[in-house]
Amino acid sequence: MVIPDEVRKCVVYLGAEYGNGTPPQNIKYGGTAFFVAVAAKKVPESSFMFLVTAKHVADALEGKKVWVRVNRKNGTSMNLKINEQPRWYFHPTDKAADVALLPISLDQQIFDFAVLQENMILTEKMRLEKGIGIGDSVFITGLFVHHVGFAKNIPILRTGNIAMIPDERIPIKKFGDMEAYLIEARSIGGLSGSPVFTLARSPEQVTVLLMGLMHGHWNVDSETIIDEVSQDAGIKAGVNVGIAIVTPASKILEIINGEELGKILEEYEASQVA
């Protein structure tokens, strides 16, 4: 099938300044992020947009000058500096959930990007209703560190299959016991935080759903590796066994609806309707 444009256009690159040069020459992009939006509950036709990536990517950028590279409608890209101390939101109860959210707003007249809507997020209830399970196709789109792109972001696309659904938690080095999908697909440095999609098929149509986001992979020595944001073509990352670890997309909704971020969004909506 032809992959919809929104699958690649929702992706942007995350990086930070390194060395003594000046931007953009000293910006090193090594992680992937994407856009998700949820509808406001009390303000008609309004929504909240978030930049989503892996928590370990956000942690690696802590204390650095963070940049995001976004494509523009004129065929080039722009390096946008995020606040000096970006306020990332993490899962309120599941400390092993490798997800980070940053509220963000971009001018759709200038930037060429797509936003994944809430109805694309695969929950466990939806997975069961649509009969999605082991063996179904998945595809990942994100940063390829060997070719970031010169004038604009050019995300790569990798494909695979669901190898295991989140039936029981998986022990993950540095993160603890993680609720995760396992997929038969190779993860590489730079794909950290990349969206992972699957397909829901019916006689009438094929629907693209956000299954989760990339955490990392295992090497042949059985040590868990996460795709560090600082990885580039010059860093050896071991031999990948071909099984990647994916954080469920439902964790995104759990953060948005959690006590901390949920309260902030409710207060903002109340100020708009007052």
What are the residues facing 206 on neighbouring strands? Answer: 201
pLDDT computed for residue 48 by the predictor: 95
pLDDT computed for residue 236 by the predictor: 46
pLDDT computed for residue 233 by the predictor: 32
- Which range has the worst mean pLDDT, 128-132, 139-143, 202-206, 245-249? 202-206
pLDDT computed for residue 33 by the predictor: 96
Higher-pLDDT residue of 41, 211:
211
Structural domain harbouring 187: 5-273
Percent of the chain, pLDDT > 70?
A: 89
Total residues belonging to the chain: 274
Kindly indicate the confidence band of residue 222, based on its pLDDT and cuts at 50, 70 and 90.
Answer: low
Kindly indicate the confidence band of residue 238, based on its pLDDT and cuts at 50, 70 and 90.
Answer: low
Backbone phi and psi for residue 253, each to the nearest 5 degrees, phi listed first: -65, -35
Model pTM greater than 0.85? yes
Cα separation, 230 vs 268, in Å, equals 35
* Residue 139: pLDDT over 80: yes
What pLDDT, in 10s, does the model give residues 3-35? 788 889 999 999 999 888 899 889 988 889 999
pLDDT computed for residue 220 by the predictor: 61
Kindly indicate the confidence band of residue 229, based on its pLDDT and cuts at 50, 70 and 90.
Answer: low
Extract long-range pairs of 257-260: CB within 8 Å, 24+ residues apart: 258/89, 258/91, 258/92, 258/93, 259/92, 260/89, 260/92
Q: Which helix (H) or strand (E) holds 60?
A: helix 55-61
What pLDDT, in 10s, does the model give residues 82-123? 977 789 999 999 999 999 999 999 999 999 999 999 999 999
Cα separation, 144 vs 82, in Å, equals 22
Kindly indicate the confidence band of residue 186, based on its pLDDT and cuts at 50, 70 and 90.
Answer: low
Q: How many structural domains comprise the chain?
A: 1
Q: What is the CATH classification number for the domain harbouring 247?
A: 2.40.10.10
Cα separation, 248 vs 125, in Å, equals 13
What pLDDT, in 10s, does the model give residues 143-164? 887 777 788 998 989 899 999 9
pLDDT computed for residue 59 by the predictor: 92
